[in-house]
Structure 1
Amino acid sequence: MTRFSANLGFLWNDRPLPDAIRAAKSAGFDAVECHWPYDIPAAEVAAALSETGLGMLGLNTRRGDVAAGENGLSALVGRENEAREAIDEALDYARQTGTGKVHVMAGFAQGEAAHACFISALRYACDKAAPLGISILIEPLNHYDAPGYFLSTTTQAQQIIAEVDRPNLNLMFDCYHVQLMEGDLSHRLEKLMPLIGHIQFASVPDRGPPDSGEINYAHIFDVVARLGFDAPLGAEYKSTQKTDETLGWMTELRA
């Protein structure tokens, strides 16, 4: 049976993170994940996870100066110290909450210097994470939502993972982003499965609940199961409705 994780960056994001964790449990999710939990003490999140019995699958490193439009630091030349501080912070929060994966955000940058900067940051993150039993994730973002983001395709991610050469570096395969940039999800999942550490989903093109749009998620989830990926899949979608009013897809797609 397919299992699902609620991404609390989008779902129930109108309430404090501990309450969102409880709402996810009540709705029948098998796990949770989040974006940037740092305003909430880790002890409060850990308590809510313990109370509900849910695991926190992943969280992101900080974006940087959000008011200035930043979306990650690790590929920004000249910001190496801040990037490492953000990695350290994320790993410590993950350690305190039992979170198994940290997504290291690259940021808006291009060119060879940015590439070298990102590689260095990822090696640092992987080496710091390994003794903690934590995996590092990188995620290609589409150029409609995040124009100029350093990492935009799975081919680029595959090359970076090979260059970093650390066993705890994996790909976050977000079906929404990959469909917009590359398409051919079934074949890409099959090709990339050995590198995939987490899978997320939303409808395309509107990033809404997965029961509309151009992706047949019943088929995609069958492919994922056939390939042997059995971890919870991350529901990371936006909606104009309250989260509880958008969950009709869970019954059909859980089969």
Structure 2
Amino acid sequence: MPKLAANLTMLYNEVPFLDRFALAAQDGFQAVEFLFPYAFKAEDIRQRLDANGLQLVLHNLPAGNWDAGERGIACHPDRTAEFRDGVASAIAYARVLGVGQLNCLAGKVPAGVADATLHKTLVENLRYAAAELKKAGLKLLVEPINTFDIPGFYLHGSAQTLALLDEVGADNAFLQYDIYHMQRMEGELAATLQKQLARIAHLQLADNPGRNEPGTGEINYAFLFAFLDRIGYDGWIGCEYKPAAATRAGLGWIKALAQ
């Protein structure tokens, strides 16, 4: 059974964010992840992690104005300075929180910008981010997102993202592979996981359709978990799904898959 981390942006969202850590620990999670820490003091989050014996395994670089619908700015040529400031902020949080890897969301394609410009901007920003993170002993992750949920997202396939990482050429830059997003965009889950295992530093999950907990849709998680154990994946899997009801009411899937 792979190691599971509770995504506190998605799970336990019926309670305030800082109260979710205790609930995750009570339900047996040993690690957590979330989208962004920046609305809170790093020391306050660290206190909740320590008080509940939890490890933080992932958070994202700042991604623009999330509430206004932005989903990353790394490909936006007019916001390079903002992106680089965000890298510095993320590293500062990571040092306090003890997380070892940060995810970069490329963003949605801005109107009127040529693809060559978007590509060049993203490559340069990722090279910068990887170099800065390497100084801090951190991995940089890059995640493709399905374009049904986020129309216009620039990176939307695993092969596309890996080709981009080849061009970036940083030895601390890896693919973040979200099983739900890649099921929607390309399928071939097991084959991709096996082929690209060395380049995948983190996994996330949800079922499809609906992005709810495993067991509610078409993805055979019993097979995938056994397969991941068999091929030697030793990283974390972030439970980044929308609970169909209350979070705790839907956690039975973990015990079912552990049998």
User: Retained in 2: the 8 A contact 1:3–1:254?
Assistant: no
| DSSP 3-state at the match of 2:128 | helix
Q: Percent same amino acid at aligned positions?
A: 36
Deviation >3 Å, runs of 4+: none
User: Retained in 2: the 8 A contact 1:30–1:232?
Assistant: no
User: Retained in 1: the 8 A contact 2:244–2:250?
Assistant: no
| DSSP 3-state at the match of 1:79 | helix
2:195 aligned with 1:200: no
Q: 2:177 aligns with which of 161, 165, 173?
A: 173
Q: Which moved more, 1:148-157 or 1:54-63?
A: 54-63
2:254 aligned with 1:250: yes
Where does residue 191 of structure 2 map in the other structure?
A: 187
User: Retained in 1: the 8 A contact 2:213–2:244?
Assistant: no
Q: What one-letter code is carried by the residue in structure 1 that aligns with 2:16?
A: P
User: Retained in 2: the 8 A contact 1:17–1:37?
Assistant: no
What is the CA distance between 1:67 and its match in structure 2? 4.6
Where does residue 156 of structure 1 map in the other structure?
A: 160
Q: 2:139 aligns with which of 125, 135, 143?
A: 135
Q: What whole-Å deviation, never above 9, does each CA across 1:24-77 have from its counterpart, x for those lacking one?
A: 111111210000121111101111111122110010122212354211011001
Where does residue 102 of structure 1 map in the other structure?
A: 102
Tell me how far apart the structure 1 counterparts of residues 48 and 67 of structure 2 sit (CA, whole Å): 30
Where does residue 231 of structure 2 map in the other structure?
A: 227
Q: What one-letter code is carried by the residue in structure 2 that aligns with 1:168?
A: N
What is the CA distance between 1:225 and its match in structure 2? 1.1
Tell me how far apart the structure 2 counterparts of residues 112 and 137 of structure 1 sit (CA, whole Å): 22
TM-score by length of 1: 0.96
What is the CA distance between 1:18 and its match in structure 2? 2.8
Q: What one-letter code is carried by the residue in structure 2 that aligns with 1:96?
A: V
Q: What one-letter code is carried by the residue in structure 2 that aligns with 1:94?
A: A
Tell me how far apart the structure 1 counterparts of residues 16 and 40 of structure 2 sit (CA, whole Å): 8
Tell me how far apart the structure 1 counterparts of residues 214 and 99 of structure 2 sit (CA, whole Å): 25
Q: CA RMSD in A?
A: 1.3
TM-score by length of 2: 0.95
Tell me how far apart the structure 1 counterparts of residues 42 and 191 of structure 2 sit (CA, whole Å): 39
How many aligned residue pairs are there? 255
Tell me how far apart the structure 2 counterparts of residues 192 and 112 of structure 1 sit (CA, whole Å): 26
Where does residue 115 of structure 1 map in the other structure?
A: 119
Structure 2 gap ranges (5+): none
